Amino acid sequence: MKLLIAEKPSVAVSSYRPLLEEVEHESFQKRDGFLQGKDWCISWCVGHLVEMAYPAEYGWEKWELDDLPMLPSEWKYNAKKATKDQFDVLMDLMSKADVIVNGADAGREGELIYRLVREMVKNDRAEEKRLWINSFVQKDMVKGWKNIKPGKDYKPLFDAALCRAKSDWLVGMNFSRGYSIKTGVRQISVGRVQTPSLALIVRRDHDVENWKDAVFYELHATWKGVTIIYHLDGKRDLDNHALVDSALQACKGKEGELTHMEENEKKNSPGKPFDLAGLQKAANKVYGFKAQETLDVTQKLYEGKYVTYPRTDSEYLPSSMLDESYQTMTEIASEEEKAVMRMKDESFVFFNSSKVTDHFAIIPTGVIPKELSDKEMKVYNLIRDRFVLAFAKPYRYKQTDLVVMCEGNEFRAALKVVVDMGFKGIGAEEKEDEGEENEQVFTGQLVANVGDRDSMNDLDLIEKKRSKPKYHTEGTLITAMETAGREIDSEELREVLKGQGIGTPATRAGIIELLKRREYISQKGKFLISTAKGRELVNIVDESVSSAEMTGSWEHKLKQVEQGEYAAESFMTEIEEMVKNVSKTFSEKDTEFEKKMQTEENTCPECKGIMRLSDHGAFCKDDEHCGFKIWRTMAKKKLPDGAIIDLVVKGKTKKLKGFTSSKGKKFDAKLKLEDGKVVFDFS
């Protein structure tokens, strides 16, 4: 018996059944958990059927510091209870099969879903193969079936997926327990990707809320009817008012000399087809869709055979797809769009096989959508429009760069004359070139030569405010996750750093939703803002735990494991060493202060239990039944030991100085205990 395994039942029934009916001339009957044919059976997973065992199964039942770090010497796995019936069906079929074809989604997680089941089946005689497809359109699946490969070719992909799962377990289980014990707060959740992502939001919130208005100055003038702008050391936005005013005074009533004049033809190309992050950012910006919404909708479009595989970080297509992609474009493009298309034999930068790994860009399959929901149609049209416009002519213009010197002061201008509107001629969103803010579209005719002199007119010193940073949206957060928080304007550099970001295209949306569910962030309109709970978590964890760059480095190494360039064992050794080092910081403080707090007269104000001190405050040790706590920091002030002692022993403090309100105003106040909580007392 031969067995083809899909990741989902819908794929098995609507895609793989017709595939095998065509290529293997099969006929299937529905059975409980699988489709029965003459030579072939088709069955399915239901997402993950197997999960990693919890600490209790290793003997780590109690939350004790002595158990940390928890480092399993032999990893344990269990069938998930909710899908145990389907797991049993697969186990039976796989144990009997002579050929097993893994048809799970073509990616790291799909490989893990299949192999965790396969590892639990005792069947060494079965030949294993891998069906790797990016489109559920019949012709594409047939092509994939003809190119089917041995399963062992994808072993590095499984190694990377398993490293990811194990490292998430090690970081999540150890650090969630460790910080819970250290702080006295039981429900702390720490994750390898989750916590650095939260830190990106917390740090942006800090930048927004602590922003101080700043101004800069520009000096504009007119020379031969052209607006020219003063530059110093290559900058036009200058902080020093006196320097700019000095240039203004020096040039009043004077002439400027043209010292440099250079004309070049430039072009602004349309965007490449979408990768998942680009699609999520566009859908968030245009329609306000959440990242998870966009992924879910695109997955439906993929399973409906309207678009190619969505979980991709590539904006490129294999060079071999040029003919069929161009044909698809001509079939779905409007007449207006066709009017600005390049010929097929021209150069298209997004056809580059060297920049395609497991998956290529998200593009339409050519199947015309029918009966899509409004949301599905919007996402489909974003994918369609970007794909079609990628073939359009670039926006071309002539740019004349001028340098005018006046009394030793340099003024610049960039004059732009449109040659061909190209893709912008059909209302496409303009993609700015770097430095385009210096340019001015020039419809007149400048008659000038190097050495010409003319009066400096309309000198105007302009004061402007620097732009205040904004809270993260889901779109801007995904950009930050892609680049591990680095502020990068260059598209080329962003491309290089894609493999060094936080998470993967498949996981970033889920991380954002997880942070919301755990109430570490909240959604306010289109913005994501950290909660007090989220900010406290970032404040207490070790810097290595919240480091976006370190997590990005791990992601890069996982990619190397996936490509067979880095040993899985070496990756796991790194993670284990980091877990060991951070775990050393969880030890409780044995200080004179803590001993004083544990005397009989200084017991917990709520339950009379033993109080404990950490760097983050005082906590009742009976967290399960009591949970009383006094945080070390209130209103951005770190409370001294004496104030915490007073709260525990007397229930109040003397007046303390140096609190800061949410609006940034300083104030003084007493603190007191009221209904088990610390509140301000302004009496």
**pLDDT digit string (tens) for 36-66?**
999 999 999 998 999 999 999 999 998 888 8
Task: Look at 616 and 155; give whichever has higher pLDDT.
Answer: 155
Angle, helices 194-209/548-562, rounded to nearest 10 degrees: 150
CA distances to 350, 426, 570 from 422, rounded to whole Å, are 18, 8, 51
Q: Could you tell me whether strands 521-524 and 472-473 are parallel, antiparallel, or unpaired per DSSP bridges?
A: unpaired
Q: Under the phi-then-psi rule, with left for phi > 0, alpha for psi from -120 to 50, and beta for the rest, what region is 407?
A: left
Q: How many helices (H) and strands (E) does the chain have?
A: 22, 28
Instruction: Give the highest mean pLDDT range of 61-65, 563-567, 591-595.
Output: 563-567
Residues 425/418, Cβ–Cβ less than 8 Å = no
pLDDT in the model for residue 447 = 86
d(CA 153, CA 157): 9
Which of 205-214, 369-378, 420-429 has the lowest average pLDDT? 420-429
User: What would the pLDDT profile of 196-248 be if each residue is shown by its tens digit?
Assistant: 999 999 999 999 999 999 999 999 999 999 999 999 999 999 999 999 999 99
Q: pLDDT tier at 490 (50, 70, 90 boundaries)?
A: low
pLDDT at residue 494, rounded to an integer: 56
* CA atoms of 415 and 413, how far apart (whole Å): 6
CA geometry: angle at 270 spanning 268 and 275, to 5°?
A: 135
What local confidence, expressed as pLDDT, does residue 599 receive?
Answer: 55
Predicted local distance difference test score (pLDDT) of residue 72: 97
Cβ atoms of 369 and 377 within 8 Å: the answer is yes
Is the pLDDT confidence value at 485 over 90?
A: no
According to DSSP, the residues that pair with 680 across neighbouring strands are 671
Supply φ then ψ for residue 540, to 5 degrees. Answer: -90, -25
652 burial (CB, 10 Å; 0-12 / 13-18 / 19+) is middle
Structural contact between residues 611 and 602, judged by C-beta atoms closer than 8 angstroms: yes
Q: How far apart are CA 627 and CA 619, in angstroms?
A: 7
* Those residues with Cβ within 8 angstroms of residue 533's Cβ, 6 or more apart along the chain or in another chain: 519, 520
Q: Residue 430 — very low, low, confident or very high, per pLDDT cuts 50/70/90?
A: very low
- Cβ atoms 5, 101 nearer than 8 A: yes
Quick one: three-class SS letters along 206-219? HHHHCCCCCEEEEE
Collapsed DSSP state (helix, strand, coil) of residue 427:
coil
Of 310-319, 484-493, 523-532, minimum mean pLDDT range: 484-493
What value does the mean pLDDT of the chain take? 90
Residue 179, pLDDT above cutoff 80: yes
Question: What pLDDT does 590 receive?
Answer: 43
What DSSP designation does 392 have? B
Confidence of residue 644 (pLDDT cuts 50, 70, 90): confident
Query: 591 pLDDT exceeds 50?
Result: no
pTM for this model (two decimals): 0.81
Q: H-helix or E-strand containing 95?
A: helix 84-96
Residues whose CB is less than 8 angstroms from the CB of residue 374 and which lie 6 or more positions away in sequence, other chains included: none
pLDDT confidence band for 472 (50 / 70 / 90)? very high
Q: Is the pLDDT score of 595 beyond 60?
A: no
Q: Sorting pLDDT into bands at 50, 70 and 90, what band is 603?
A: confident
Residue 361 has pLDDT above 90, yes or no: yes
d(CA 169, CA 507): 15
Q: pLDDT confidence of 410, banded at 50, 70, 90?
A: very high
Question: Which tokens go with 277?
Answer: 């992050």
The phi, psi pair for 424, rounded to 5°, reads: -75, -15
Mean pLDDT of 258-279: 95
The secondary structure of 556-605 as a DSSP string is: HHHHHHHTTSS-HHHHHHHHHHHHHHHHGGGPPP--HHHHHHTSGGG--T
The CA-atom distances, in angstroms, between 351 and each of 139, 312, 458 are: 21, 16, 49
Structure tokens at 601: 């007269």
105 contact partners, CB below 8 Å, separation of at least 6? 7, 113, 309, 311
The tokens for 271 are 């965007």
Minimum mean pLDDT range among 301-315, 528-542, 626-640: 626-640
Task: Using pLDDT thresholds of 50, 70 and 90, give the confidence band for residue 434.
Answer: very low
Higher-confidence position of 639 and 363: 363
pLDDT bin (cut points 50, 70, 90) of residue 605 is: confident
Query: Does the pLDDT of residue 489 top 80, yes or no?
Result: no
Give residue 492's pLDDT.
Answer: 58
- Per the model's pLDDT, the better-predicted residue between 461 and 483 turns out to be 461
Among residues 592, 585, 606, which one has the least CA distance to residue 648? 606
| The token pair that represents 86 in the structure block | 């389907």
Among 4-13, 359-368, 479-488, 626-635, the least confident range: 479-488
- Res 164: pLDDT: 95
pLDDT level of residue 439 (50, 70, 90 thresholds): low
CA 67/CA 186 separation, integer angstroms: 16
pLDDT of residue 433: 42
The residue type found at 373 is: S
Indicate the pairing of strand 395-406 with strand 409-420: antiparallel
pLDDT of residue 592: 47
